[in-house]
Amino acid sequence: MPAMMAKKRIRVAIVGCGTVGGATADLCIRDRALIARRSGVDVEIAAIVGGDFKHARELGLPEDLLTTDLDSVLNDGTIDLVVETVGGIDFPRSLITRALDAGKHVVTANKALLAHHGEELFAHARRQGLSIGFEASCGGGIPLVRAITDGLIANEIEAIYGIVNGTSNYILTEMIQKGETYPEALAKAQSTGLAESDPSMDVQGTDSAHKIAILSALAFGIKVDFEIIPVIGIDTLDSLDVAYGQDLGYVVKLLAVAHRDEEGVSIWVRPAFISKEHPLAWVSGPFNAVSIYGHAVGHTLFYGRGAGGEPTSSAVASDIVSVGLGIIPAVFENTGYWPDRNDDVTQLAEGRSNSQFYMRIMAADKPGVLATIGSILAKERISIASLRQNEQALEEELIPLVITTHICPEAAINRAVREIEALPVTGETVVVMPIVDEHPERVG
Amino acid sequence: MPAMMAKKRIRVAIVGCGTVGGATADLCIRDRALIARRSGVDVEIAAIVGGDFKHARELGLPEDLLTTDLDSVLNDGTIDLVVETVGGIDFPRSLITRALDAGKHVVTANKALLAHHGEELFAHARRQGLSIGFEASCGGGIPLVRAITDGLIANEIEAIYGIVNGTSNYILTEMIQKGETYPEALAKAQSTGLAESDPSMDVQGTDSAHKIAILSALAFGIKVDFEIIPVIGIDTLDSLDVAYGQDLGYVVKLLAVAHRDEEGVSIWVRPAFISKEHPLAWVSGPFNAVSIYGHAVGHTLFYGRGAGGEPTSSAVASDIVSVGLGIIPAVFENTGYWPDRNDDVTQLAEGRSNSQFYMRIMAADKPGVLATIGSILAKERISIASLRQNEQALEEELIPLVITTHICPEAAINRAVREIEALPVTGETVVVMPIVDEHPERVG
């Protein structure tokens, strides 16, 4: 079926012409006939708005589509949809609001914006009878948003465990597989273009937090307060702990987690040890994967490239098509999981969840130290699962004591750690990481 | 949002009350408010049609919904959708046709029916302005059909590699991890209810072939001729080859594969060795997983429970909701990947694909045997990647010679094998299995 025979047609302006905007324009223009044949929607790129068209010209995008005149594009009544790929928060927030006011649907890959202002923008779209596609905001090309809002719609979602930052996962993979230190692995990621020159959004966990905030809002129907999500990145990770974890049968991953219990939903991002039996432990290099547990479906996992122009353009283009078919508008109009529509579930404050934990305490090799630490843990009713005192050179003053616990309240661990850190016979910092085993399924 | 406040309502009759029908009725009735709140669709189960309500009564389904009177249900103008969970081919084929004639949408989990008659039924639905949801036909609760028809819609699909039969994967996992023989592992699967008393559809590969036929039709837009799909099950697998494969760094999996090259699409089902680096190698026990490679998105993988009442009911219920929202009807009306709409891609006949191969030849331990075999392979231009002659007890007449090849045409391997099998110094049967490494991505 040639493009002109497609049943539906949608005219699209792409604002921003960087990695994602450029790749989206390229995919939609180059593969217009393919997309029309498969989807029944003829996607016509009507304008590419930017300030700098260096990348557009490298890609060979048509010159006559390139424009700096955003106002004309927003005033063009023949344009049905605006794709926002600018990045940042203030400008795209205002851009999306203006596009909605001008009667245009919106597709965006902007996770930072949606994590902070998704509720406001979704509500505005609905008031206008319009919709916002945001598949590309979480997990690049992996159809994750659709999994929650469509494929798993009949489930109560119980938990989400995600590896949603490819840069961090690449660095961790290098540290695990090649024994590199964090600075060595980061330098390699930067040299291959996987990490930016300022990698802080990725390695400090902020990017992962944006994504889990968006997925949690959809999955649990909660208003997520981004500011209270505890976020720890991989930038403080010591290769010593990576190695000890491996000895214990675990793999370290930067996990973005949201899980629900009777009290509410806990959301956090931090390096965690995951059992080698869990499929997330297999995810290596720049790939992303997200485990979603539903009350009927049990454990599902979605894997793919979480970043990069082409994979992300796959998600943006599927959203454009979906708006063209009326699917995303129908979902926006009817479904009830948008954060601005729910208020019956609470996001729990930090330290309210239960987990197994790994602790590395640097302690003096003296009689009584172990007894003191043991009594602090006992007072908090923390039960020890394993304990290792690893041999060290004699001249070292403090030696590492590695403890894993059975499941206990995070608050109890935090209290115990503060007390242990204050002891005269221990180092200033106790390393604490959650240990994640297979989440219990209700089915199967 | 209570159920009565949902914007849309859909009245559903479920025909068949076995594992899937019962679980679907149970999910939709028990979690009606949850589904309405999340999806905006109030799913009302209006009737459960069956011949025997033993399972329905075990589940405590409402007595007033149970009926044997199919005609009344089909004649009931207030019923919008019929769920077919009967199984078999002839009766459900006629049932679905009648339901469509009566103006009702259809949702089915019946892979055998769709693999053989999907084209006819899809075309009939479209002529009636209706739709058929079939997410549950492939991969149980994993949203696989949606991945191809929605999330990855802007991609040219290049390949699908699936583990889509949980019974077979459970048996193989037991053989690999515990060194059990096929009969031992099968007996255990039967005792835990994972394999039926007649396991032939699962272990002979037919069930996997049904699923890859359906997925291939959607992904490549081809009319699949089910009869020409080469299908080999796990029932002839020797634990010797499982062990040799492990030594070589591979894991044996029952793979359902469809991949496209310039000439067309090759579809096959057979036990294959998969590199331990490939995520599919990690899939253990009764879980299913499917790798889908798109030209823009690269490698994506979808994992979950591929069978069982509750996981499958998650897929059936999501289809009901999707029909209620008008999504599946819009997809049916507009999209172009239905097999009855395409005729520009060819399904290749058996032996037309290229692969690496594993061969185990039982050969006499005499001078010249290796040279003879080597010359046969050389004549077919098959290049040897590795060769092992494993030590055996002296009284054995024939000893195993394990050869892996570089990529070569399947037809060449088949010719060479026939010639080797005819040698006086070899056993009657050469074991041949494809070796699957990571499929090349165009991106990344």
- For residue A390, pLDDT over 80 is answered with no
**So what's the pLDDT on residue B61?**
97
Q: Which of B23, B154, B282 sits opposite A282 (nearest CB)?
A: B282
- Residue-wise pLDDT for A418-432, tens only, equals 999 999 988 889 999
DSSP state letter for A125: H
Q: B401 φ, ψ to 5°? A: -115, 115
Q: Which of A8, A314, A330 sits opposite B294 (nearest CB)?
A: A314
Provide the β-strand partners of residue A260: A265
- Nearest CA to B106 out of B131, B127, B89 is that of B131
- Residue-wise pLDDT for B114-150, tens only, equals 999 998 999 999 999 999 999 999 999 999 999 999 9
Using CA coordinates, name the residue in chain A closest to B443.
A310
Whether B144 and B212 have beta carbons less than 8 Å apart is answered as no
Whether A13 and A73 have beta carbons less than 8 Å apart is answered as yes
Judged by CB atoms within 8 Å, which residues 176-215 of A form the interface with B? none
Q: Can you tell me the distance from the alpha carbon of B307 to that of B109, in angstroms, rounded to the nearest whole number?
A: 10
- Residue-wise pLDDT for B64-91, tens only, equals 999 999 999 999 999 999 999 999 999 9
How many other β-carbons are positioned within 10 Å of the β-carbon of residue B358? 24
Query: 3-state SS string over A245-293?
Result: HHHCCEEEEEEEEEEECCCCEEEEEEEEEEECCCHHHHCCCCEEEEEEE
DSSP state letter for A151: I
**So what's the pLDDT on residue B263?**
85
- Residue-wise pLDDT for B287-337, tens only, equals 999 999 999 999 999 999 998 999 999 999 999 999 999 999 999 888 766
**So what's the pLDDT on residue A343?**
58
Q: Which of A37, A304, A318 sits opposite B299 (nearest CB)?
A: A304
Whether A115 and A218 have beta carbons less than 8 Å apart is answered as no
- Tell me if chain B has a CB within 8 Å of the CB of A153: yes
Q: A381 φ, ψ to 5°? A: 60, 35
- For residue A15, pLDDT over 90 is answered with yes
- For residue B108, pLDDT over 50 is answered with yes
**So what's the pLDDT on residue A353?**
79
Q: Is A403 helix (H, G, I), strand (E, B) or coil?
A: strand
Domains of chain B: 3-137 (3.40.50.720), 144-305 (3.30.360.10), 354-436 (3.30.70.260)
The stretch A255-267 carries a mean pLDDT of 92
**So what's the pLDDT on residue A221?**
87
Q: How far apart are the first and last CA of chain A?
A: 43
- Tell me if chain A has a CB within 8 Å of the CB of B141: yes
Using CA coordinates, name the residue in chain B closest to A37.
B336
**So what's the pLDDT on residue A262?**
84
Q: Residues for chain B: how many in total?
A: 444
- Residue-wise pLDDT for B375-410, tens only, equals 999 999 999 999 998 666 566 678 899 999 999 999
- For residue A45, pLDDT over 90 is answered with yes
Count the helices and strands in chain A (H runs, E runs).
16, 16
- For residue A2, pLDDT over 50 is answered with no
**So what's the pLDDT on residue A395?**
62
pTM of structure: 0.95
- Nearest CA to A278 out of A443, A161, A442, A155 is that of A161
* Chain Cα centroid distance, residue B334: 26
Q: Which two tokens stand for residue B413?
A: 């391997």
**So what's the pLDDT on residue A183?**
95
Catalytic residues of B: 211
Residue with token string 């708005």: A49
- For residue A345, pLDDT over 90 is answered with no
- Nearest CA to B332 out of A325, A324, A36 is that of A325
**So what's the pLDDT on residue B1?**
39
Judged by CB atoms within 8 Å, which residues 373-432 of B form the interface with A? none
**So what's the pLDDT on residue B221?**
87
pLDDT band of residue A3 (cuts 50, 70, 90) is very low
- Tell me if chain A has a CB within 8 Å of the CB of B297: yes
Using CA coordinates, name the residue in chain A closest to B39.
A335
- Residue-wise pLDDT for A50-84, tens only, equals 988 999 999 999 999 999 999 999 999 999 999 99
**So what's the pLDDT on residue A342?**
56
Chain-chain contact of B336 with A294 (C-beta, under 8 angstroms): no
What element of type H or E holds A167?
helix A166-178
Task: Please report, rounded to a whole number, the percentage of residues in chain A having pLDDT higher than 70.
Answer: 95
- Nearest CA to A287 out of A109, A192, A182, A167 is that of A167
Chain-chain contact of A296 with B141 (C-beta, under 8 angstroms): yes
Q: A67 φ, ψ to 5°? A: -145, 155
Q: Which two tokens stand for residue A123?
A: 């509500």
DSSP state letter for A231: B
Q: Can you tell me the distance from the alpha carbon of B378 to that of A33, in angstroms, rounded to the nearest whole number?
A: 44
**So what's the pLDDT on residue B365?**
85
**So what's the pLDDT on residue A350?**
75
Least confident of A201-205, A373-377, B9-13, B363-367: B363-367
**So what's the pLDDT on residue A1?**
39
Provide the β-strand partners of residue A290: A162, A302
Whether A281 and B284 have beta carbons less than 8 Å apart is answered as no
User: Which amino acid is it at B192?
Assistant: T
- For residue A264, pLDDT over 50 is answered with yes
Whether A415 and A377 have beta carbons less than 8 Å apart is answered as no
- For residue A334, pLDDT over 90 is answered with no
Residue with token string 């006939």: A33
Using CA coordinates, name the residue in chain A closest to B334.
A40
- For residue B3, pLDDT over 50 is answered with no
CA distance B233 to chain A (A): 24
B122 vs B116, B136, B221, B297, CA distance in Å? 12, 16, 13, 28
Q: What is the ipTM of this complex?
A: 0.95
Radius of gyration of chain B (CA): 24
**So what's the pLDDT on residue B172?**
96
- Nearest CA to A330 out of B7, B130, B28, B338 is that of B7
Q: What mean pLDDT value characterizes chain A? A: 92
B84 vs A114, B25, B314, CA distance in Å? 40, 12, 15
